[in-house]
Amino acid sequence: MEENPGTGTGRPGRGADIGTKPGGEREAVARIIANQRSLIVRLYARIRFLILRQTFLQEIGQYLPRQGRVLDLGCGFGLFSLYFALDAPERRMVGVDLNRDRIEAANECAKKLGVGNVDYTAQNALDWQGHGQFDAIFMLDLIHHLPKEEVEPFLLRVAELLAAGGTLLLKDVSDRPRYKMWFTLLLDRLMVGAEPIHYWPPAELCALVERLGFTVKRHTINDFLPYPHMLYVCTRAGQSRRDQEPDPRERRSPCPRSSTSKRFTATNSPAG
């Protein structure tokens, strides 16, 4: 596992239609929020986009192909798959979530927005088979909701869904620092009650993903909110198309230990 210096040098707008228009990202986020089905969901969406805000969207977006199939597992209300569908109309987004109401809301929102390049399925991601392969797969805050013992076999199946050279992006919550973990746990408990939650120590999750044949780079994403965000960027060793391009970040600083994403700071204004 390598520590990634983060996307302080991310490639914002790389492949982002909405990112190239002034205010395009904000506008897309505002449209997604405005088209939610109820006040409560609009509020939730606003908070979600406050937590995973503009720079974060660029962080994830830089790893997604502009064309091809992209899978969002545990997509919830589809906020981020809708965003990335709006971002690149040639991208085919597929979203899967256990929660039927959320999937119904995601479909409604896609319809209202006139977004045709998303497909949503209500199913347990642990059982979902999928059809064909994906050029990129992401999971935003799903892993810590899955039973710990299920994660390895699940990720093994997910790996099989990933096309050669594809990227698997895991955004999850670290178990350190503790005060940030407790803050996140409190909010998660408000959302899911007594359901099991397991925040993986980053080294443990990296080791697991590496066992599945991936090269993993991870970095924290610091924000004014005390969330211990961790982004794991997983590629099949030696296969990634991106691996063939020189990455200026790696030339500058291969694997610093305590790296963070500098662009994701308290001074960044919220996206929504």
Ligand X SMILES: C[S@@+](CC[C@H](N)C(=O)[O-])C[C@H]1O[C@@H](n2cnc3c(N)ncnc32)[C@H](O)[C@@H]1O
**Binding window for ligand X (CB under 6 A); candidates: 94-102, 129-137, 219-227, 253-261:** 94-102
Q: Across the strands, what pairs with 121?
A: 96
Instruction: Determine if 142 is a binding residue for ligand X (CB under 6 A).
Output: yes
Q: Smallest distance from the beta carbon of 203 to ligand X, in angstroms?
A: 23
Q: Which residue is nearest to ligand X (CB)?
A: 76
What are the C-alpha distances in Å from 178 to residues 23, 174, 185, 199, 223? 36, 9, 10, 11, 16
Q: Which of 126, 159, 185, 212 is in the footprint of ligand X by CB under 6 A?
A: 126
Mode of pairing for the β-strands spanning 229-236 and 162-173? antiparallel
- Closest distance of CB 149 from ligand X, Å: 13
The DSSP annotation for 114-181 comes to: T--SEEEEES-TTT---SS-EEEEEEES-GGGS-HHHHHHHHHHHHHHEEEEEEEEEEEE-S-SHHHH
Q: Does 106 bind ligand X (CB under 6 A)?
A: no
* Binding status of residue 113 toward ligand X by CB under 6 A: no
- Closest separation between CB of residue 164 and ligand X, Å? 25
Among residues 73, 163, 191, the alpha carbon closest in space to that of 121 is found at: 73
Of 56, 63, 80, 200, the residue at the interface with ligand X (CB under 6 A) is 80
Residues forming the site for ligand X (CB under 6 A)? 48, 74-76, 79-80, 96-99, 102, 124-126, 140-142, 145-146
